[in-house]
């Protein structure tokens, strides 16, 4: 069983060393897809002895597809975001998994979203994503522009190998990022003719989930509540944006998606949400 690891990064020099050391500790081969860094991240990759692949940014799906193609000799792929890492216990669990000869198509790994705010550090939430996938099932494509995991309905949970994610360092900045993601989601959802949901219901529901069911309010106090409210805006805004697109707003975005100009979509989305 040969495991390939990859990360996609831009200006990530502060968090990339821990990410790369995690991947090289468990993977037989690692690639770092550089989407246009200029902060010294490329030197971090070189010092880590990791193969670099340069790829102009066109969205998450295109970049992940490039990474998978760069690992043709691997049976499985594991990916981390540039602000994620594995702790020693998770590394040991993945090393045991490599010896197990898993027959699954994919494995869900827990992702611990950490808030590192001026008021303190706390675990915001835990969720699960298919981050360990057989190479033939790792089928990202360019139209998958948004930051979402692959849908793997039969994935098997690997609970002992959590990923530690530096999720938020500033509440307004995190809220701004969610606004951009909401618009990107809506562009793709509009192209796929997804059905509309009531926006007014989404934010309070998701706020309650993260703040109280997942426990951000109990672990982070007022900071956890504020962060949960900011993050929950994504779930209402994406349907508000979808309604706008269906009504004919921002035709430049829908037209760019139709012609596959995904770089333009990101450029324009950032302009509209900044």
Query: By C-alpha distance, which of 235, 24, 217, 14 is closest to 122?
Result: 217
Query: pLDDT digits over 219-243, tens only?
Result: 999 999 999 999 999 999 999 999 9
Please determine, for residue 149, whether its predicted confidence score (pLDDT) is greater than 80. Answer: no
pLDDT confidence of residue 152: 82
pLDDT confidence of residue 210: 98
Residue with tokens 């040991």: 92
Confidence of residue 147 (pLDDT cuts 50, 70, 90): confident
pLDDT confidence of residue 236: 97
The torsion region of residue 40 among left (phi > 0), alpha (psi -120 to 50) and beta comes to left
CA dist 114 and 126 (Å) reads 9
pLDDT confidence of residue 26: 98
CA dist 34 and 169 (Å) reads 23
DSSP 210: I
Task: Determine which helix (DSSP H) or strand (DSSP E) holds 106, and give its type and residue range.
Answer: strand 106-117
For the chain, the structural domain boundaries read 3-168, 171-273
pLDDT confidence of residue 105: 95
Instruction: Give 223's contacts (C-beta < 8 A, 6+ positions apart).
Output: 115, 117, 119, 120, 122, 171
Query: pLDDT digits over 7-44, tens only?
Result: 999 999 999 999 999 999 999 999 999 999 999 999 99
pLDDT confidence of residue 151: 81
Q: What is the pTM of this model?
A: 0.95
User: What is the CATH topology of the domain spanning 3-168?
Assistant: Spore Coat Polysaccharide Biosynthesis Protein SpsA; Chain A (3.90.550)
């Amino acid at each position: 069983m040969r495991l390939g690891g990859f990360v996609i990064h831009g200006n990530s020099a502060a968090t990339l060393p821990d990410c790369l050391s995690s991947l090289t500790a468990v993977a037989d081969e690692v690639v770092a897809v550089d989407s246009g860094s200029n902060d010294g991240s490329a030197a971090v990759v070189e010092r880590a002895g990791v193969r670099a692949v340069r790829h102009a940014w066109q969205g998450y799906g295109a970049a992940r597809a490039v990474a998978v193609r760069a690992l043709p000799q691997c049976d499985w792929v594991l990916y981390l975001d540039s602000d994620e890492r594995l702790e020693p216990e998770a590394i040991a669990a993945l090393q045991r998994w490599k010896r197990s000869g898993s027959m699954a198509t994919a494995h869900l790994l827990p992702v611990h979203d950490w808030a590192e705010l001026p008021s303190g550090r706390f675990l915001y939430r835990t969720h699960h994503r298919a981050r360990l996938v057989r190479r033939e099932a790792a089928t990202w494509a360019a139209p998958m522009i948004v930051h979402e995991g692959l849908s793997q309905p039969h994935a098997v949970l690997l609970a002992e190998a959590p990923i530690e994610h530096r999720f938020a360092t500033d509440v307004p900045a995190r809220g701004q990022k969610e606004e951009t993601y909401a618009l990107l989601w809506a562009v793709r959802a509009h192209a796929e003719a997804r059905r509309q949901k009531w926006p007014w219901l989404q934010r309070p529901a998701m706020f309650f989930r993260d703040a109280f069911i997942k426990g951000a309010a109990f672990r982070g106090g007022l900071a956890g509540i504020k962060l949960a409210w900011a993050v929950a805006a994504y779930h209402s805004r994406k349907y508000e944006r979808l309604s706008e697109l269906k009504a004919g707003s921002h035709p430049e975005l829908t037209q760019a998606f139709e012609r596959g100009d995904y770089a333009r979509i990101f450029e324009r989305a950032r302009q509209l949400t900044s």
